[in-house]
Amino acid sequence: MIQLFETKNNRIIEKQPEFGGGINLKDQWIHLENPTDREIELIERVTGVDESLLKAALDEEERARIEVDDGDTLVLFDIPTIEEEEDYYSYSTMPLGVIATKNSIITVCLKENSVINNFMSGRVKGLKTAKRDFFLYQLLYHTHVKYLQYLRQIDRSSQRIQTELHRATKNKELVQLLDLEKSLVYFSTSLRGNSIVIERLSRMNRSRNDEEAEELIEDVVIENRQAMDMCNIYSDILASTMSTYASVISNNQNSIMKTLTIMTVIISVPTLVASFWGMNTGVPFQGKQYGFWVVLGLSAIVASVVGYFITRHNKGIDNKKNKK
């Protein structure tokens, strides 16, 4: 899909993308969302941008970088995305390519996202497609603001899931925690890649003597560092939480196994006694009218004694551990 925009009086205006002969694309913003090969060929023809630059952001594994080709500059960085699952949200990242040409600016991404939507809907103030460098810095700034927003949502989701796990340990909540942990890994990797791009852009901007752009790129650096710090903190907390729940599950499993073992030992005593009296070896009370009740009572007494000593032994071990 191809969309065309321009700014007038600090307002974003969408135009009909008709790329006929003699079209003027000066100071325009062209946005490509999951473009087809035919659309890429069309944009390559009317803008002169190399096809490899237009397709760079269509590879989900593409790394963040800056590339210059024939006067066209590609800045590739990762933006956060959110997807609604059955009853929760999952978070990931995807590449966004920004190509600054001599006359226009082009953005390319694989699917719809909230960062681009905010620009299209006019939620971003002071937007100017004519100032291509400034437009790029605004994209970077609002991208990292969105990272911070999603990180706070991840933290709230993690706290909600932990509250549910305190009531009862369920596989469903544990899977959600694993998804959040995976999302933080994606965020952390993308933010590190973005930081390299931002540092290079900051060095390139120093020679232009543009104070407004300088202030904005400094804000981008701050937002990036803050997002990285928050991501690392939440990752450590979530990893510690998962480790704690793993220990709790293991302890619960050990307690259940210990209880089942005690029950097995106690139940085996009556079985053993009954087996002796079932042998044809002339044991006492065989063939007597009250022999069944004697054997049953003896089994109950022995099982009770064994259960008492096992329970007392386990309590003694637990008391020693508590004293330590």
More confident residue, 18 or 219: 219
More confident residue, 248 or 110: 110
Q: Are residues 164 and 124 in the same domain?
A: yes
Q: Are residues 156 and 241 in the same domain?
A: yes
**Region 170-193 average pLDDT:** 85
Read out DSSP for 127-152? --TTSHHHHHHHHHHHHHHHHHHHHH
Q: Of 139, 140, 153, 220, which Cα lies nearest the Cα of 183?
A: 153
Query: Does residue 34 lie in a domain region?
Result: yes
Instruction: Confirm if 48 and 30 have CB atoms less than 8 A apart.
Output: no
Query: Does residue 95 lie in a domain region?
Result: yes
Instruction: Confirm if 70 and 50 have CB atoms less than 8 A apart.
Output: yes
Q: Are residues 226 and 314 in the same domain?
A: no
More confident residue, 237 or 252: 237
Query: Does residue 28 lie in a domain region?
Result: yes
Q: Are residues 161 and 308 in the same domain?
A: no
Instruction: Confirm if 111 and 94 have CB atoms less than 8 A apart.
Output: yes
Instruction: Confirm if 65 and 197 have CB atoms less than 8 A apart.
Output: yes
pLDDT above 70: residue 318: no
Q: Of 147, 151, 134, 149, which Cα lies nearest the Cα of 224?
A: 147
Residues 209-225 as b/e (b if ≥16 CB within 10 A, e otherwise) read: ebeebeebbebbbebbe
User: How many domains does the structure of the chain reveal?
Assistant: 2
- Please give the angle made by the CA atoms of 158, 160 and 164, to the nearest 5 degrees: 115
More confident residue, 136 or 17: 136
Domain of 169, in residue numbers = 2-249
More confident residue, 244 or 35: 35
Q: With bands split at pLDDT 50, 70 and 90, how would you rate the model's confidence at 88? A: confident
Range in 110-114, 255-259, 284-288, 296-300 the model is least confident about: 284-288
pLDDT tens digit sequence for 107-161: 999 998 899 998 888 888 878 888 888 889 999 999 999 999 999 998 888 888 8
Q: Are residues 103 and 160 in the same domain?
A: yes
Query: Does residue 257 lie in a domain region?
Result: no
pLDDT above 70: residue 21: no
Q: Give pLDDT, residue 147.
A: 92
Q: With bands split at pLDDT 50, 70 and 90, how would you rate the model's confidence at 256? A: confident
Query: Does residue 9 lie in a domain region?
Result: yes
- Look at the alpha carbons of 174, 175, 178, 179 in this order and tell me if their dihedral is positive or negative: negative
pLDDT above 60: residue 101: yes
pLDDT above 80: residue 287: no
The tokens describing 90, both together, are 């999952």
Q: Give pLDDT, residue 290.
A: 67
Q: Give pLDDT, residue 320.
A: 57
Query: Does residue 187 lie in a domain region?
Result: yes
Query: Does residue 161 lie in a domain region?
Result: yes
Query: Does residue 228 lie in a domain region?
Result: yes
Q: Give pLDDT, residue 94.
A: 92
Q: Give pLDDT, residue 143.
A: 93
Range in 3-17, 111-125, 173-187, 212-226 the model is least confident about: 3-17
Range in 29-38, 126-135, 155-164, 302-311 the model is least confident about: 302-311
More confident residue, 280 or 273: 273
What secondary structure letter does DSSP report for 218? Answer: H
Q: Give pLDDT, residue 323.
A: 54
SS3 of 11, please? strand
pLDDT above 90: residue 97: yes
Q: Are residues 300 and 224 in the same domain?
A: no
Q: Are residues 234 and 299 in the same domain?
A: no
Q: What is the distance between the alpha carbons of residues 313 and 304, in angstroms, rounded to a whole number?
A: 14
| DSSP 3-state percent helix, strand, coil across the chain (nearest 5) | 60, 15, 20
Q: Which of 249, 267, 286 is the last residue of a domain?
A: 249
Q: Are residues 293 and 177 in the same domain?
A: no
Task: Tell me the pairing of strands 89-100 and 105-109.
Answer: antiparallel
Q: Give pLDDT, residue 93.
A: 92
Global confidence as pTM: 0.76
Instruction: Confirm if 96 and 143 have CB atoms less than 8 A apart.
Output: yes
